[in-house]
């Protein structure tokens, strides 16, 4: 904050606006409900904005588990690699699959991946909120507005924990996604996604589930840490700094009198409220900034992860033939070395590590910004909806008070 400014939580009852409730109420739901709703709304937002880019949903926002793989495999337009038409949109792909397979296609092939994506997103949001409550003294109160806001180190640590827990619980789903072959279902080897999931997890065991977990852990934990710390910093610290600077400069009497809600009974200074569009603008800016900074971490690590995952099926086969656990773990360790060597060759061919790891970074990030920003906005709105009714925050500035409701 700027020099000379301070905060006063609460406003004298005589100075409150009409209709403000002085009491506080219990939150309707806990942070777990916030996490579930935010994850679900993020998935819905991604589906809706996919129409804007006129491309299949996978090209717009790649969920952790692809729920359209089977629908694309049985679609003649996709298989023929035809030019883009409306028949390649998500609703058209699903409609064709339902006409071909019947309505049972939705619960058998689409619902399991969607539930998995919602579960993974809910774990991330919920763990982040719980971690932030533990690390920051103001957050456990679940107030609509936390002041002073948590510092960047706190939000970074909370995001690191949230991403790590998400990576751990998402490991079985990642293992299924990596090993999924549409031909197995088309050939009748697996009747439904439920059948595929149970059979494959039993087949690969714990070693197969956590194969490649190190890369996934680094990507998810660091990505979430940068993602949430950027979001919270721009949304809170950036917003408070801006309004303190902007309104602190404009101390002309005519401006203060025209915009004042009332005058403080203690010192007579006018009380003004920031323009209603400022905070939503910073919320949107925070979502966009978080999308870009999160992708700076996740985009290159995803490329390394994709190369490494191609080795997993061969490792699964070798693990079944190997009787000594130490030898199996040694094989997984050497797989990382082989992945690095392969990536080193690809980087040299592409003109360097930066050119290789950040290939198509800009377009990939631009496509993800709308849904990610929308998801964060929903996340923030839901978090405030189920928070305690907190008192106003008053920032004291020389010559005036800035009221934050």
* Residue 228 pLDDT: 92
Inform me whether the pLDDT recorded for 50 exceeds 50.
no
Which of 167-181, 207-221, 315-329, 344-358 is predicted most confidently? 344-358
Confidence of residue 109 (pLDDT cuts 50, 70, 90): confident
pLDDT recorded at residue 156: 96
| Per-residue model confidence (pLDDT) at position 61 | 35
Specify which residues 402 forms β-bridges with: 272, 395
SS3 track for the chain: CCCCCEEEECCCHHHCCCCCCCCCCCCCCCHHHHHHHHHHHHHHHHHHHHHHHCCCHHHHCCCCCCCCHHHHHCCHHHHCCCCCCHHHCHHHHHHHHHHHHCCCHHHHHHHHHHHHHHHHHHHHHHHHHHHHHHHCCCHHHCECCCCCCCCHHHHHHHHHHHHHHHHHHHHHHHHHHHHCCHHHHHCCCCCCHHHHHHHHHHHHHHHHHCCCHHHHHHHHHHHHHHHHHHHHHHHHHHHHHHHHHHHHHCCCHHHHHHHEEEECCCCCCEEECCCCCHHHHHHHHHHHHHHHHHHHHHHHHHHHHHHHHCCHHHHHHHHHHCCCHHHHHHHHHHHHHHHHHHHHHHHHHHCCHHHHHCCCHHHHHHHHHHHHHHHHHHHHHHHHHCCECCCCEEEEECCEEEEEC
Residue 378 forms part of a structural domain: yes
Helix pair 312-321, 193-209: axis angle to 10 deg: 70
Q: Could you give the number of structural domains in the chain? A: 1
Flag whether 21 is in a domain: no
Whether 367 has a pLDDT exceeding 60, the answer reads yes
Whole domain around residue 299: which residue ranges?
6-13+30-404
Contact 65, 177 (CB under 8 A): yes
Confidence of residue 391 (pLDDT cuts 50, 70, 90): low
Average pLDDT over residues 167-191: 80
Give the span between the Cα atoms of 45 and 68, in whole angstroms.
17
- Residue 391 to residue 374: CA distance in whole angstroms: 27
- 397 phi, psi to nearest 5 deg: -130, 150
Q: What is the pLDDT of residue 36?
A: 63
Q: What is the largest CA-CA distance in the chain?
A: 84
Binned at pLDDT 50, 70 and 90, residue 59 comes out as very low
Return d(Cα 402, Cα 405) in angstroms, integer: 10
pLDDT of residue 23: 42
pLDDT category of residue 157 using cuts at 50, 70 and 90: very high
pTM: 0.72
Provide the pLDDT for residue 386: 66
**pLDDT in the model for residue 13:** 38
Query: Cα(212)–Cα(208) distance, rounded to whole angstroms?
Result: 9
- Residue 19 belongs to some domain of the structure: no
User: Residue 118 corresponds to which tokens in the numbers above?
Assistant: 């919602």
Spatial CA neighbour of 29 closest among 111, 119, 125, 138: 125
Q: Calculate mean pLDDT across residues 380-397.
A: 67
Does residue 18 belong to any structural domain of this protein? no
Looking at residue 12, what is its pLDDT? 40
Is 354 a member of any domain?
Answer: yes
Query: 10: which 2 tokens?
Result: 């609460």
CA–CA gap between residue 46 and residue 378 (Å, rounded): 12
The pLDDT tens digits for 221-231 are 999 999 999 99
Confidence of residue 26 (pLDDT cuts 50, 70, 90): very low
Range with the largest mean pLDDT of 54-58, 148-152, 181-185:
148-152
Q: What pLDDT is stored for residue 11 in this prediction?
A: 43
Residue 314 lies in a domain: yes
The 10s digit of each residue's pLDDT in 237-275 is: 898 888 888 777 665 555 566 566 666 666 667 777 777
Residue 216 or 382, more confident: 216
pLDDT at 346: 92
């Amino acid at each position: 904050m700027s020099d000379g400014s301070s905060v006063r939580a609460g406003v004298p009852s005589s100075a409150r606006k009409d209709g403000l409730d002085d009491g506080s109420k219990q939150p309707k739901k806990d942070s777990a409900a916030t996490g579930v709703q935010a994850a679900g709304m993020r998935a819905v937002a991604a589906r809706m904005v996919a129409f804007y880019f006129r491309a299949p949903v996978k090209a717009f926002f790649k969920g952790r588990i692809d729920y359209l793989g089977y629908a694309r495999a049985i679609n003649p337009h996709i298989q023929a690699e035809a030019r883009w038409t409306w028949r390649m949109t998500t609703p058209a792909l699903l409609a064709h699959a339902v006409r071909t397979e019947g309505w049972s296609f939705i619960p058998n092939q689409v619902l399991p991946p969607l539930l998995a994506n919602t579960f993974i997103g809910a774990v991330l949001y919920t763990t982040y909120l719980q971690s932030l409550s533990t690390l920051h003294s103001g957050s456990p109160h679940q107030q609509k507005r936390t002041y002073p806001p948590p510092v960047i180190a706190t939000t970074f640590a909370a995001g690191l924990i949230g991403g790590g827990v998400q990576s751990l619980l998402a490991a079985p789903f990642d293992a299924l996604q990596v090993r999924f072959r549409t031909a197995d279902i088309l050939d009748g080897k697996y009747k439904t996604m439920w059948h595929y999931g149970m059979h494959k997890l039993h087949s690969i065991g714990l070693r197969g589930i956590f194969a490649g977990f190190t890369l996934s852990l680094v990507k998810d934990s660091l990505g979430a840490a940068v993602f949430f710390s950027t979001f919270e910093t721009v949304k809170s610290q950036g917003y408070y700094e801006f309004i303190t600077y902007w309104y602190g400069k404009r101390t002309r009497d005519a401006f203060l009198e025209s915009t004042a809600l009332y005058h403080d009974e203690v010192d007579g200074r006018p009380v003004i409220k920031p323009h209603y569009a400022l905070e939503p603008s910073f919320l949107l800016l925070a979502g966009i900034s978080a999308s870009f900074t999160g992708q700076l971490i996740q985009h290159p690590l995803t490329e390394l992860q994709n190369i490494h995952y191609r080795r997993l099926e061969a490792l699964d086969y070798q693990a079944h033939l190997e009787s000594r656990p130490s030898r199996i773990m040694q094989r997984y360790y050497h797989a990382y070395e082989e992945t690095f060597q392969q990536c080193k060759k690809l980087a040299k061919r592409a003109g360097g590590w930066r050119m290789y790891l950040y290939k198509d970074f800009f377009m990939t990030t631009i496509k993800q910004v709308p849904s990610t920003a929308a998801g964060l906005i929903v996340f923030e709105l839901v978090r405030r909806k189920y928070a305690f009714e907190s008192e106003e925050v008053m920032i004291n500035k020389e010559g005036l008070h800035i009221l934050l409701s």
